[in-house]
Amino acid sequence: MREKLKALAELQNVDLEVASLRKAADVHPRQIAELERELGVARSAIEAERARLTDMERQKAQLEQNITDEKDKVKKWEARLSEQRSTREYSALAREIDIAKKANLTMAEELAELTKQLGAAREAIKSKEAEFATKQQGLSGRMAELKGKLGEAESQVKALEGRRSGVAQGVDANLLRRYETVRKKKLPALVGVVAGTCQGCNMNVPPQLYNQLRTTLGTDVCPSCHRIIYAVEALQETPAAAK
């Protein structure tokens, strides 16, 4: 019985190591996702600035076109001034020309201010792009590091799973089936009983059951948590004599 128990304990040690590795590695995908999100936010901010710059350039082009159109209109109206037959028509056209010139002057001022804003926006984008490149390099390096750790953990798990297959072959078939059933629900599935207390749920087992475990050095099921239990003496190098 003691040898069967030792074989099962060895199997569980492998399972616990696998579980520990997986738990530790579980944080890596979340960290990678967070870094990707952070990089995405920074990228979106740059794209928003570029879109704003493009819109300003469109406004500038439209304003320049409007100024050109107004200048052409003024030239045509000025050419028609000499054709006016009455003072009233001449005055009306001259007034329209004056209004158009003032509008052109206002648009020219708007164009100058917009051009100034465009220059500042381009410089700001250059600065932000440089910051983003630095940030991207740092985050990419961190992500590569995390992916490396994740890959290493997966390799270790794979190696342990291979080792597990060999260890499982040395476990009693009936005991293995019971262990696998419990393991699917909770781990550790195999726990010792110390001074009559199950180390899985910290509940006392019936004294008769505890004495039986110490006498046979075998296994049973905890009435409270339904884990496989054994007397810790069973795995000691020199099991203490049952009292």
Helix/strand/coil percent split, the chain, to 5: 75, 5, 15
Could you tell me which CATH class the domain 2-168 is placed in? Answer: mainly alpha
Question: Which residue ranges does the chain devote to CATH 1.10.287.1490?
Answer: 2-168
Q: Which residue has the tokens 């074989």?
A: 7
Cross-strand partners of 198: 193
| Predicted confidence pLDDT, tens digits, the chain (243 residues) | 788 889 999 999 999 999 999 888 888 888 889 999 988 988 998 999 999 999 999 999 999 999 999 999 999 998 888 888 888 888 998 999 999 999 999 999 999 999 999 999 999 999 889 988 888 888 889 989 999 988 999 999 999 989 999 999 989 999 999 999 999 999 999 999 999 999 999 999 999 999 999 998 889 999 999 999 999 988 886 544 443
